[in-house]
Amino acid sequence: MTEHAVPRHHRPSRLRTFLFGAPYYPEHWTDDERADDPARMAAAGVNCVRMAEFAWDRMEPREGAYDFSFFDAEVDRLGAAGVRTILCTPTATPPRWLTFKYPEVLRVDRDGRRMEHGSRQHACTNSPLFRHYSRRITAAMAEHFAGRPHVIGWQTDNELNCHFALCYCQACQEAFRQWCRQRYGDDIDALNDAWGAAFWALTFGDFAEVLLPTDRPARSNPSHVLDHRRFVSDTTAAFHREQAEILRAANADWFITHNGLMRHIDYAAFARDLDVLGVDLYPAFSMDDHAIPFSADLARSAAGNFIVPELQAGPGGQVGYMHPTPAPGQMRLWMWQSAAHGADGVLHFRWRTCRFGAEEYWCGVLDHDNVPRRRYEEFAREGAELARAGPRVLGTAVDVEVGVLVEHEQLEAHAAMPLGNPSPRDQARAAHRELWRRAMPVGLVEASDGFDGLKLLVLPGFVMMDADLAERLEAFVRAGGTLLATAWTGTRDRCNRIIDHTPPGLLAGLFGAAVDEYGKLPPGGGRIELAGGAGVESGGWYEVLKPASAEVIGTWADGHYAGGPAVTAAAVGKGRAFYVGTFLTDANAAPLVAPAISGAGAAPLVDGLPEGVEAVRRSGDGRSLLFLLNHADAARDLTGLPPGADLLAGRDVDGALTLGPRDVAVIESS
């Protein structure tokens, strides 16, 4: 896809219709059980479904014998009712004939155990033979459906790396060696230097000696591990890219998506081959009101506005767990929360709850007995609201003035040598939660993006640093931005080796301070006293700072380092740079982030929001949409609102309104 000048977190999608519907599995039901589906979908405002991601055996029951007639009929039947189809390549579940005939395509775990047919994601995406069959079924489907007007797009595979991400089969071994050859220009000495192979006599004489890191018997080299995770991300993207290229060649009008966000995939790179990224959202895993905002913002940081191919509709459970049943209004609230944070399409998982298989208690819009009840009525309300408001939402993007930096490789580098400390993702979540709670215009920002329009950036313990990122961060501050970084920042190079400069290394001049001493703290150990006397608990780590040009605004309150600088602030150009000598957590983020917010010039979207009410703003095409979401079980009175029209209730708003329990308002203003 074409690169954009607009930062990812602020890009609208190119969709012309706000997509609304559900994943649909007609192969699970009889003709009679499906008979009412088109009419019920149309009555609920459904405009699209997703089909066929697990139906390879239905479409190719025997090798080379294709039969698409079943899905032809379903696509046409739904299309006649105004419901279009997103088809899926079915490669997450290859048919039994394939894995029995070619067992070498099955994945192998770290302990050498080969996976078995009977679940999903059991075939290796690096297997040349499996890649061959994946291309073949993709090409057959693409050719067959290319001229069918009711097919509007495709999802490749399904949740790549969800259940199984790290394969140790022979195909992966050979592919990793080839990847290393390409990365290091066929120079084994360059690999040895990058990995620090002098340690533990790890020196390689040839690429043929390179093995996958397994931690047997001791921990693997963190530089080796980081490169392996890069390899996993790159080759997963290559598997998807093969399918996307086949589909685009068959019909350039189709859009291509994939549903994440899963492990060991750099979605900022992966999404270059997509028209729109998908993110599957199941907030009932935590019942945390912040779950959707954080995951949605991760998707936006990678690729801009997104779709939700799967949004939880009811309770879900498998074998050992069962989610609580969403309360009345919760399903609708989740849908509008997704839209508020950048979704340009939402499909509730799933249309009807299956009566068999591993997901027979993943409840959908309709129950097992196929009787429409409360969830269907709520679903239909969403469809009616989107028919009115969806066209106004499209073309807008989330306003972001306060950014929390994210970068996939930072997470992988940390995971290779974590020492039990919070990851950059953990800290990003804590900072984002605090800024979201304050109703700030906050978003996650991919580190390779531009920082234009941002007033505050949080750098959550990026262990790896290079000259390019360091220079861009300094330019951001000198131009008037505010930067806040946390412990461990800039301590390693891009090979995951410790740097030879005092931390924060390349950023020491920007922060006007360096780390004089550091160490691990027990849970609850260590406290920081901020200027003004406020006490703050540590994040399980202490860094005693040595200021050069920086002002000390927080000191350690206990331990042998009591009185030592813990938090500093430096004036740089027109901006300020804060350094916090510990990690951010949910417990300490509020006081540690507050000094940076106060001087950054960013203001809440709405002042004085009651507890449990969320505010998000999308803008574009000359309009502004303020989303107000009440997560509480009781009504909330809101004041200080901009004048405008509530697109959902059809009412004018002039400064105040009351939101009922789990209710939503979308106020449009010029």
Distance, in Å, from the CA atom of 240 to the CA atom of 587, rounded to the nearest integer, reads: 40
Cross-strand partners of 456: 402, 482
Q: Tokens 């959908």 sit at which residue?
A: 364
pLDDT in tens, 490-509: 999 999 999 999 999 999 99
Whether pLDDT at 542 is above 50? yes
Among the listed residues 53, 74, 310, 537, the single catalytic one is: 310
Tokens representing 615?
């505010």
Q: How far apart are CA 195 and CA 494, in angstroms?
A: 11
* Beta-sheet strand order (sheet of 613-620): 397-398, 613-620, 623-630, 664-669, 644-646, 651-653
Task: Give the range among 335-344, 397-406, 521-530 with minimum mean pLDDT.
Answer: 521-530
Do the beta carbons of residue 589 and residue 537 sit within 8 Å? no
Helix 330-340 vs helix 374-393: angle between axes, to the nearest 10 degrees? 20
Please check whether residue 230 is in contact with residue 248, taking contact to mean a CB–CB distance below 8 angstroms. Answer: no
* Number of other residues whose CB lies within 10 A of the CB of residue 11: 17
Backbone angles phi, psi at 372, to 5 degrees: -65, 130
Active site includes 209? Answer: no
Distances (CA, A) of 453 to 44, 196, 437: 40, 40, 21
Please report the pLDDT score of residue 3 as a whole number. 46
The pair of structure tokens assigned to 483 is: 């930067």
* Nearest by Cα to 295 from 259, 326, 348: 259
Which tokens go with 404? Answer: 């929390």
In CATH, which superfamily holds the domain spanning 613-669? Answer: Golgi alpha-mannosidase II (2.60.40.1180)
Cβ–Cβ under 8 Å, residues 513 and 570: yes
Q: Over the stretch 65-113, which tens digit does the pLDDT of each residue have?
A: 999 999 999 999 999 999 999 999 999 999 999 999 999 999 999 999 9
- Backbone phi, psi, residue 290, to 5°: -90, -5
Of 160, 137, 171, 616, nearest to 393 by C-alpha is: 616
Instruction: Say what the pTM is.
Output: 0.97
Residue 412 in tokens: 């992988």
Q: Determine contact, residues 451/472, Cβ cutoff 8 Å.
A: yes
The CATH number of the domain covering residues in 402-600: 3.40.50.880
SS3 542: strand
Place of tokens 């220079």: 471
Residue 599: pLDDT band (50, 70, 90) is: confident
Alpha-carbon span 593 to 591, nearest angstrom = 6
Q: What is the mean pLDDT of residues 155-161?
A: 97
Tokens 């192998």 correspond to what residue?
Answer: 108
Phi-psi region of 567 (alpha: psi -120 to 50; beta: other; left: phi over 0): beta
**Residue 245 catalytic?**
no
Average pLDDT over residues 252-279: 97
The set of residues, in sequence order, having a beta carbon less than 8 Å from that of 326 and lying 6+ positions away, is 284, 312, 313, 314, 315, 334
β-pairing verdict for 656-659 and 636-639: antiparallel
Return the domain boundaries, the chain. 15-162+237-392, 402-600, 613-669
The class of domain 15-162+237-392 in CATH terms is alpha beta
Bridge partners (DSSP) of residue 85 are 49, 151
C-beta of residue 667 within 8 angstroms of C-beta of residue 615? no
Cβ-based burial of 278 (10 A; exposed 0-12, middle 13-18, buried ≥19): buried
pLDDT of residue 119: 86
CA distance linking residue 428 with residue 409, whole number of Å = 14
Give the Cα separation of 537 and 440 in Å (integer): 24
Three-class secondary structure of residue 125 per DSSP: coil
- Contact present, 533 and 527 (Cβ < 8 Å): no
Using one digit for the tens of pLDDT, what is the confidence trace for 44-69? Answer: 999 999 999 999 999 999 999 999 99
SS3 552: strand
Q: How far apart are CA 665 and CA 397, in angstroms?
A: 17
With left for phi above 0 and alpha for psi between -120 and 50, is residue 509 left, alpha or beta? alpha
Host H or E run for residue 15:
none
Residue 1 has what pLDDT? 35
Query: 182-192 in b/e burial notation, b at 16+ Cβ within 10 A?
Result: ebbeeebeebb
Strands (E) in 209-290, as ranges, are 255-257, 259-260, 278-279
Asked whether the CA dihedral 332, 337, 340, 346 is positive or negative, the reply is negative
d(CA 557, CA 142): 65
Dist CA 304 CA 297 (whole Å): 9
What pLDDT, in 10s, does the model give residues 436-461? 999 999 999 999 999 999 999 999 99
Q: Name the active-site residue from 53, 60, 74, 159.
A: 159
Straight-line distance from the first to the last Cα atom of the chain, in angstroms, rounded to the nearest whole number: 32
Residue 585 predicted with pLDDT over 50: yes
Distance CA 247, CA 642 (A): 45
pLDDT at residue 118 greater than cutoff 90: no
pLDDT per position as a tens digit, 180-207: 999 999 999 999 999 999 999 999 999 9
pLDDT category of residue 533 using cuts at 50, 70 and 90? confident
Are 465 and 495 in contact, with CB atoms under 8 Å apart?
no
Element of type H or E holding 339: helix 330-340
113, exposed or middle or buried, with CB in 10 Å at 0-12, 13-18, 19+?
exposed
Cis peptide before 261, with omega less than 30 degrees from 0?
yes
pLDDT tens by residue, 545-573: 999 999 999 999 999 999 999 999 999 99
